[in-house]
Amino acid sequence: MSTIDLNEISGLPLKLKNGKLVFGAGMKKVVPEGRIHVRMKAVLKNPTAKAPKEFYDMYRDIALEKDRKTILHNKLRFDITVLPGFKVGDEYNKTFGHYHPKVPGTNTWYPEVYEVLHGRALYLLTNHNEFLVYDARPGDKCLMLPGFAHVTVNPGKEPLVMANWVYPGFNSNYGPIEKLRGVQWYYTEQGFVKNKKWNQAPSIQLLSAKEFPEFGFLNEPMYKTAMKNPKKFDFLSTPQRYAKEFKKYLI
Ligand SMILES: [Fe+2]
């Protein structure tokens, strides 16, 4: 297996070696939480198809030790997820998928921002009535819009490595996705296939992975952007103050 250098793309001294993250100078090793087949069966198109035991690894709260105070003070958390490239039956490897809760006392859900570090990602977003898909490549930043469930698919053979900034003070909600065996569409070698558990499947709308200047995403690793100007990522902890900016991206 090969070694992939993630230093330039992530802004952190990281490598992917034999599918696992290797932490460089100034970082402490983070032990990942693995998502395994027995759990994923609940959302697979074909739960009885042969599959590897491990689906993906979530490395939570990654940082340069010198940045820890800044990250904590600004109510942020930086995570990296690694999804190897494989299929279960004809369906490509993916994350379980979840919703975020609302900010207490408001009518706004917590958002999140993803960045592809290696490979390719399809980010599937749905709020029941709409189904949005970002087709993202290394360096692309994609906003998980408030109120939208999100699933990440690795549609290739290469491992997908992706990062996210998120507000650390909430628990994600996996129940609605589990109840309906995933979101409305599965991504397979034939393309998108309807999930029959849903009565209705909204048509698929492609979103380009654009730059979002209002939110401070630049053409650089978003770890660096946040450490230079953490206030730019305030929208993650207090999205209720950014209704106007989010509205622009809701179709
Ligand atoms: Fe999320």
Distance CA 47, CA 174 (A): 17
Q: Domain total for the chain?
A: 1
- Predicted confidence band at 217 (pLDDT cuts at 50, 70, 90)? confident
Greater confidence (98 vs 210) lies with 98
Give the chain's mean pLDDT: 95
Measured CA to CA, the distance from residue 1 to residue 190 in angstroms comes to: 28
Output the CA 109–ligand 1 centroid distance in Å.
11
Determine, yes or no, domain membership for 209: yes
Predicted pLDDT at 211: 57
**What is the Cα–Cα distance from 116 to 35, expressed in whole angstroms?**
19
In the chain, where do the E strands start and end?
3-5, 14-17, 20-23, 33-36, 54-59, 77-83, 87-88, 91-92, 112-118, 121-126, 131-136, 141-144, 149-153, 160-166, 185-188, 191-194, 204-207
Q: Which domain holds residue 200?
A: 32-247
**Is residue 3 one of the residues assigned to a domain?**
no
Q: What is the pLDDT of residues 32-44, one digit of tens each?
A: 999 999 999 999 9
- Residue 191 domain-assigned (yes or no): yes
Q: Which residues contact 174 (CB under 8 A, 6 or more apart)?
A: 96, 97, 98
CATH number of domain containing 50:
2.60.120.10
The answer to whether residue 157 is domain-embedded is yes
Radius of gyration of the chain (CA): 17
Give residue 245's pLDDT band: very low, low, confident or very high (50, 70, 90).
confident
d(C-alpha 128, C-alpha 94), whole Å: 19
Give this prediction's pTM.
0.96
Q: Is residue 149 included in any domain, yes or no?
A: yes
For residue 99, the CA-to-ligand 1 centroid distance in Å is: 7
Q: How far is the CA of 67 from the centre of ligand 1 (A)?
A: 23
On whether residue 39 sits in a domain, the answer given is yes
Distance (Å) from CA 172 to ligand 1 centroid: 7
The answer to whether residue 164 scores a pLDDT higher than 60 is yes
**Sign (positive/negative) of CA torsion 5, 124, 183, 61?**
positive
Q: How many angstroms separate the alpha carbon of residue 112 from the centre of ligand 1?
A: 6
The answer to whether 124 and 133 are in contact (CB under 8 A) is: yes
User: pLDDT band for position 248 (50/70/90)?
Assistant: confident
Give the DSSP letter string of 188-243. ETTEEEE-TTSS--PPEEEE-----GGGT--SS-HHHHHHH-GGGGGGGT-GGGGH
